[in-house]
Amino acid sequence: MTRDLDEPARNELGQLVQRTARMLRRANLSELEPYGLSPHQSRALGVVSRHGADGSLRLSTVAEHLDIAPRSATEVIDALEERGLVRRTPDPADRRAVLISLTDDGRALRRRLDRARARRSDEVFGALTTKEQQVLRDLLVRVLDHGRVAGD
């Protein structure tokens, strides 16, 4: 593979991406703080919102999407259930399994968090034009896809 950037520039590129990720992570933490949510809980709400809209999301699927052990997913879902943000229902197709879905409160909170994330994104990436933002998005997707193929 040909490298057009010299080593210092390649190192700087990685550092810039890491600094941007840290900035976004700090902003995310401050947005979650008023709701008493951890980043794992927020991500789990997002997974259930996106993939469990029909109420058919199994706990194992939550764990898979979060890339965590099923036991850890159980702990995250337990905490969300205690707060009334998700509910468990028996899986009619498999008595041993339960299905996870958002409650009305969980959906409302997810919408608030999504709006806050969109505002933060506007603030962080507002220095870029819409076209530049799309190019950056496409490039980051390509980098992440390459990382998965290369063994992540």
For the chain, 152 residues long, give each residue's pLDDT as a single digit of tens: 446 778 888 889 889 999 999 999 998 898 899 999 999 999 999 999 998 767 679 988 999 999 999 999 999 999 999 999 999 998 888 888 889 999 999 999 999 999 998 898 899 999 999 999 999 999 999 999 888 766 54
Task: Provide the residue range defining the domain that includes 127.
Answer: 7-149
- Identify the pLDDT of residue 96: 86
What pLDDT does 37 receive? 94
Task: Evaluate whether residue 96 is within a structural domain.
Answer: yes
**Number of domains the chain is built from:** 1
Residue pair 105/82 in contact by the 8 Å Cβ criterion: no
110: in domain: yes
The predicted pLDDT at position 92 comes to 86
| Per-residue pLDDT at 82 | 97
Residue 42 domain-assigned (yes or no): yes
C-alpha 91/C-alpha 39 separation (Å) is 27
pLDDT of residue 1: 45
Q: Report the pLDDT value the prediction gives residue 11, as an integer from 0 to 100.
A: 86
Is the entire prediction scored with pTM above 0.75?
A: yes
- Inside any domain, residue 74: yes
The reply to whether 21 falls in a domain is yes
Residue 136: predicted pLDDT: 95
Residue 66: give its domain's CATH number: 1.10.10.10
Is position 2 within any domain? no
Question: Looking at the domain assignment, is residue 68 inside a domain?
Answer: yes
- The answer to whether residue 1 sits within a structural domain is no
